A and B are shown apart, each in its own frame.
Chain A
Amino acid sequence: MLKDIFLMMNHELSLGLVLLMLLLLKVSGKVLSIDGMLRLVNGLLLLNLAAGLLPGDEGYLFHDMFHSNSLVSLEKNILNLGTLIISLQAYPWLSRHEHPEEFYFLLLSTLLGMFFMISSNNLLMFYLGLELSTIPLAALANFDLDKRQSSEAALKFIISSAFSSGLLLLGISLVYGTTGSLGFAEIVQKLDDSPLQLFAFILLLAGFGFKISVVPFHLWTADVYEGSPVVVTSYLSVISKGSIFFVLVPVLFTVFKPLADSWYHMLVILSVLTMIIGNLFALRQDSIKRMLAFSSITQVGFILVGVSGSSQTGAAAVVYFVLVYIFSNLGAFGVVALVSAFTGKEKIEDYNGLYSTNPFLSWVLAISLFSLAGIPPTAGFFGKFFLLMAGAEQGNYALITVAALNMIVSLYYYLRIIRAVFMEKSPGPIPPLTIPVLSRFGLLLCAIGIALFGLWGWIYHYIYSLSSPF
């Protein structure tokens, strides 16, 4: 039993260890300078990532509440990697902050919550993990302590999360009422398309929809993203969303498989709405953070196209895309975070002529944006291609056409930034920034990931081999 726990919960345990060390570090007073502390934490996160890569074990724990397999391990590793990159990019901002230990404590708690959520095999466990991953995030959104906008963002986030949790809970109780069980394995046997169950499912889907900001449940997204510190925004838009997708896919594909006919149509409608509305709003933004926020809504729409494919290729494409999306979006947000931390500028026109002063940042930003837009040879191209390909498997070419046209619209606003950076001339461009080593390392990781993980077919092959058939 104990050996099982060590092998199956290796990610949770190693992350718990890091949390414990942070706590000890905090209570022991100021033994380390802020700089030293940040380096130590980044080192620990790197170790944590490495520990996660060690082979674990497959199986079930705690009366089938918790499960683990290679795909789940891979997903946790992906989240670990993303968190490490974010932590590297947070360096210039945190080094001037008063409470870096608390930041990491909250951040890693949410990550732990996500791990439990991904591993859940029971709706209660899922809910527990979800709440653990949500509540500290609200505190994080408020982490620019002297900015009013930041606390506004936190308040909006906590209210909308509470609301969506309410929906989820109602859905869960209805599921329990109609099937008499909360375990995934039992629920699937007792689902029979009755109206009450369908209603329960819709509530659950709406709860999920809030978390991944699917239109029409997206209204909180832009304000929260804009008000939060850039680092938290990138965490919200990438890691938090990615983890929900990691749960959503198996829940839809295995637990609610009997309702597949119903949720297929729901997904199609939601994804079309999400892509179009996200794009329409992104087109009009002047703030680069808001634009990235809306563009991340659009990206969710694309992911839903892949989910709607309901196949092994679909499941693989979603995981693959989230991995690619982590690199792409974090690359873009990383540059924005750096510029924002040093100059406080967050408007698109502030980026005019960035290339003449900061060529490295410009190229990283360009590669990331191209990857977000799905331009070859970046990994984003492959990610999008496989998502839409999975969607096309159902023979719904109208959906694919809508998605493909939306890619063109999204290309427009990504190219707007490229235009500002490379083509516009500015009387006072952002001065040459001295990029800290840790941030540079984080950005390089993103660029390498974008360049490598697409062209190198092995990654996709590996993810596909782990994904379970529909």
Chain B
Amino acid sequence: MNLSLLIWVPLATALAVALSGGWKQARIIALSGAVVQLLLAAYFLWAFVEARNAGNGSLMLLESSRPWFAPLHINFHIGVDGISMAMVMLTAFVVLAGVLVSWSESYRSREFFFLLTFLAAGAYGFFISLDLFTLFFFLELAVIPKFLLIGIWGSGKRQYSALKLALMLMGGSALVFVGILAIYFNTRTGQGFHSFDILEVARQGLPPSVQKFFFPFIFTGFGIFGALFPFHTWVPDGHSSAPTAASMFLAGISMKLGGYGCLRVATWLMPLAAHDYSGIIVALSVIAILYGAFATMMQTDLKYINAYSSVSHCGFVLLGIGMLTQTSLSGAVLQMVSHGLMTALFFASIGMIYSRTHTRILSRMGGLLKVMPFISTVFVIAGLCSLGLPGLSGFAAEVTVLMGSWQNPDTWYRLATILACCSIVVTAVYILRAVGQTIMGPVPEKNDFILQDASWNEKWAAGILVFGILIVGVTPFLLTKLTGPGTELIMQQVEKAISIK
């Protein structure tokens, strides 16, 4: 089976949703599409592991390439390594859960599921692209559906948030655009052509001056997607205004586009610059981690709590990339997967609570554990994962990042690591406070609404994500083994660049 099915299946699903008769039909199509995507992703994972076990050591597996714009040497080149495979699996999980959570969305639901599925196609395409043009294409493809999802189905100041998100993300992609053009024109293949091909660029290496000048473009561009401080401001507004499924996609998948891009394009293709700029990256990510954590403490709205804590958690991704050790890089990948699952679960449970209580303000809630045990339990699991409880994914990921960071012997980097560690305490404070106020204590008397526990679709959605969290949490070595060769390769590239210098 060709890897491009990962793009075609969601696209076909989106088309079928658009042509479907009514909303009940639309959601069934969307759900079956999401299930097929998960099965496909699982199949490709299996094929990937089989091939690796059989000793296939090439950089990318399941590769295929066909010319797209031949005169410019732009190819539709796709393939996966361990890192992309992990991201694809994450996407498949979150997409399925997101569709399940939105099962009862009845306002313009055909359009809703169309956009969700379209967004998924963009994410899959991005993660499997091996050509910078295709990669950029899919990066931008995933922006406008978010704008529409937030603006049409969102709550609160949805229009403002949607516009802010769209403009900031497109601003990021504009920077990426300048960067990839520079990469293109500074690459020459054997036949004397320029090339967008990631493998080709990595093989040749870019001149140091080009790296030095254009690394900030690419890293900042992708960084905006991944909530790099000070460009994180779209995150709280966007997440809190978005409908539940869109929040899940946004935090679970879209922010990972940024982290993945920083790793795959910025660090891999410009290793020397990544090394030179690592101090700035580390400083910014530590600021994001601490600032995010402290800002979360001040929030009273559950969605804002999770949104700001996402800034903090995504800071760990960038910290891992900035530290440039083998362990910290694989920690960064682990954190991307972990945060994707965890935050999707968090938003899902907040969405379930909100749809019943019609408020997300902490002080107006209480005692939910008594009336809605399932939802409350899910909420607690998400909270504990965010807090870093051993056995759940958050712990494994953040410990790996911090361990990797400590391996960097520079004093200032050690200091940064210590500061990042401190944020865990703050995280514990806000998570325990939020969870305690929401689910413990007496049920407020004014509650005249009916608090029903989760319906079947919500149970499934939560179950899928909890399953993922547990897998990553209990057996993180499976994931690190999967992503190991990919991160090793990036590290080799960095070391080679430094040694030449």
Q: A423–B159 contact, CB under 8 A?
A: yes
* Docked complex Cα distance between A457 and B162 (Å): 32
Within 8 A of B (CB), among A378-398: 381-382, 385-386, 388-389, 392-393, 395, 397
Is A93's beta carbon under 8 Å from chain B?
A: no
Q: B167–A408 contact, CB under 8 A?
A: yes
Q: A415–B163 contact, CB under 8 A?
A: yes
Is B137's beta carbon under 8 Å from chain A?
A: yes
Q: A422–B69 contact, CB under 8 A?
A: no
Q: B182–A392 contact, CB under 8 A?
A: yes
Q: In the complex, which of the residues B158, B174, B182 contacts A408, with contact meaning CB atoms closer than 8 Å?
A: B174
Contact string against A for B residues 171-211, beta-carbon threshold 8 Å, 1 for contact and 0 otherwise:
10011011001101100000000000000000000000000
Is B70's beta carbon under 8 Å from chain A?
A: yes
Q: B174–A419 contact, CB under 8 A?
A: no
Q: B71–A464 contact, CB under 8 A?
A: yes
Residues of B within 8 A of A389 (CB): 72, 181, 184
Stretch from A109-117, A183-191, A399-407 contacting the other chain: A399-407
Within 8 A of B (CB), among A419-440: 419, 422-424
Q: B182–A404 contact, CB under 8 A?
A: no
Q: In the complex, which of the residues B74, B158, B166, B184 contacts A423, with contact meaning CB atoms closer than 8 Å?
A: B158
Is B12's beta carbon under 8 Å from chain A?
A: no
Is A262's beta carbon under 8 Å from chain B?
A: no
Stretch from B143-151, B266-274, B446-454 contacting the other chain: B143-151
Q: A460–B167 contact, CB under 8 A?
A: no
Residues of A within 8 A of B46 (CB): none
Q: In the complex, which of the residues A381, A386, A424 contacts B72, with contact meaning CB atoms closer than 8 Å?
A: A386
Residues of B within 8 A of A460 (CB): 69, 71
Stretch from A6-14, A22-30, A369-377 contacting the other chain: A369-377
Residues of A within 8 A of B144 (CB): 370, 375
**A313-B71, A375-B144, A461-B69 in contact; A411/B181 too (CB < 8 A)?**
no
* Docked complex Cα distance between A465 and B72 (Å): 12
User: Is the interface on chain A under 10, 10 to 19, 20 to 34, or 35 or more residues?
Assistant: 35 or more
Q: B151–A376 contact, CB under 8 A?
A: no
B148 (CB) vs chain A CBs: closest residue: A422
Least Cβ distance of B212 to chain A in Å? Answer: 13
Is B140's beta carbon under 8 Å from chain A?
A: yes
Is A103's beta carbon under 8 Å from chain B?
A: no
Least Cβ distance of B177 to chain A in Å? Answer: 5
Residues of A within 8 A of B137 (CB): 376-377, 381
**A405-B174, A408-B167, A415-B147 in contact; A376/B140 too (CB < 8 A)?**
yes
Least Cβ distance of B183 to chain A in Å? Answer: 11
Residues of B within 8 A of A360 (CB): none
**A415-B166, A422-B148, A457-B67 in contact; A377/B141 too (CB < 8 A)?**
yes
Within 8 A of B (CB), among A169-204: none
Residues of B within 8 A of A418 (CB): 147-148
Is B170's beta carbon under 8 Å from chain A?
A: yes
**A423-B159, A457-B69, A457-B70 in contact; A411/B167 too (CB < 8 A)?**
yes
A420 (CB) vs chain B CBs: closest residue: B159
**A389-B72, A393-B185, A404-B174 in contact; A412/B163 too (CB < 8 A)?**
yes
Least Cβ distance of A461 to chain B in Å? Answer: 6
* Docked complex Cα distance between A424 and B162 (Å): 13
Is A154's beta carbon under 8 Å from chain B?
A: no
Contact string against B for A residues 294-324, beta-carbon threshold 8 Å, 1 for contact and 0 otherwise:
0000000000000000000100100000000
Residues of A within 8 A of B147 (CB): 415, 418
* Docked complex Cα distance between A422 and B149 (Å): 10
Q: A388–B181 contact, CB under 8 A?
A: yes
Residues of A within 8 A of B143 (CB): 375
Contact string against A for B residues 65-100, beta-carbon threshold 8 Å, 1 for contact and 0 otherwise:
001111110100000000000000000000000000
Q: A423–B151 contact, CB under 8 A?
A: yes
Is B9's beta carbon under 8 Å from chain A?
A: no
Residues of A within 8 A of B185 (CB): 392-393, 395
B221 (CB) vs chain A CBs: closest residue: A404
Residues of A within 8 A of B69 (CB): 382, 386, 457, 460-461
Least Cβ distance of B192 to chain A in Å? Answer: 14
Within 8 A of A (CB), among B22-71: 67-71
**A400-B181, A412-B163, A460-B71 in contact; A423/B152 too (CB < 8 A)?**
yes
Q: A411–B182 contact, CB under 8 A?
A: no
A377 (CB) vs chain B CBs: closest residue: B141
Residues of B within 8 A of A412 (CB): 163, 167
A sample of 7 inter-chain contacts (CB < 8 A) reads: A392-B181, A395-B185, A397-B182, A408-B167, A412-B163, A423-B151, A460-B69
Interface residues of B (CB under 8 A from A): 67-72, 74, 133, 137-138, 140-141, 143-144, 147-148, 151-152, 158-159, 162-163, 166-167, 170-171, 174-175, 177-178, 181-182, 184-185
With A400-B178, A423-B151 given, name 11 new contacts (CB 8 A).
Answer: A375-B140, A377-B137, A381-B137, A385-B133, A386-B72, A389-B72, A389-B181, A389-B184, A397-B178, A415-B163, A422-B152
Q: A-B pairs with the 3 shortest C-beta distances?
A: A404-B174, A464-B71, A392-B181
